[in-house]
Amino acid sequence: MLPVPARLTGGPWAFFLDVDGTLLDIADAPDLVHVDAPLLNLLDSIKRVSGGAVALVSGRSIDDLDRLFQPLKLSAAGLHGAERRDAQGRLHLRPADARLQRVREALQAWAVARPGTLVEDKGGAVALHYRLAPGEEVAARELVERVAAGLGGDYVVQEGKLVTEVRPAGVSKATAIRQFMTEQPFTGLRPVFVGDDVTDEDGFMAVRDLHGLAVVVGARRQTHATHCLADVRAVQAWLGDWLTRVVNGEMQ
């Protein structure tokens, strides 16, 4: 069992935060989650006192993150690192790929005949959810593997919690975090990355390489994280504790 992370001391810290399962409880469908005012205020305050050194690092698209967290706009990496917005607001995007339309059509045709499955079109990636139809896991994974293979080496399959998707190859949450860490206001800081899924493992390895703190949410048998928080509420409380101590002048 991994230890619970102690109060954040030292630093100064750069915060990299996954969204679903980390800042927000996972819902039955991606569009059913809601960001409440206390979480918005917490993130806005962390952004302010950290000098802007906080970024969302998610499988969602940046457009979707902006919709969820409006009016707050943070630095962000979307689609598991395939797109990124730096602290100056510059977007780093991959060109649109018309071949993904065939993937969308194949997955949607399959899902229509299987109640409880859902296709999430992320623009530069396509995900197949089977949270409400767990018995379809094997068939869903086989289908996504097959359609991804038809795209050659430009795309890979990304597994997650009751979801499998086709996403661009050559990028990851780790590459996004490493790129942020070369830019202001992140450079020179100590990174902390909090995530909950197998999609976050490369990010955990990256922050460990950078002498940072890797925190997994929920119990997992195998992980590259060094510490564990129980759930979304524990994550928010842990971040809130750091913020309170900074605001009260207890940390330099």
Token representation of residue 107: 């997955």
Which residue, among 197, 199, 189, has the nearest Cα to 232 in the 3D structure? Answer: 197
209 is catalytic: no
Please state, in angstroms and as integers, the Cα–Cα distance from residue 88 to each residue in 52, 70, 71, 185, following that order.
10, 18, 17, 9
Alpha carbons 162 and 128: distance in angstroms, whole number? 9
Token representation of residue 252: 């330099």
> DSSP class of residue 12?
-
Sign of CA dihedral 63, 68, 70, 74: negative
Q: Which residues are catalytic?
A: 18
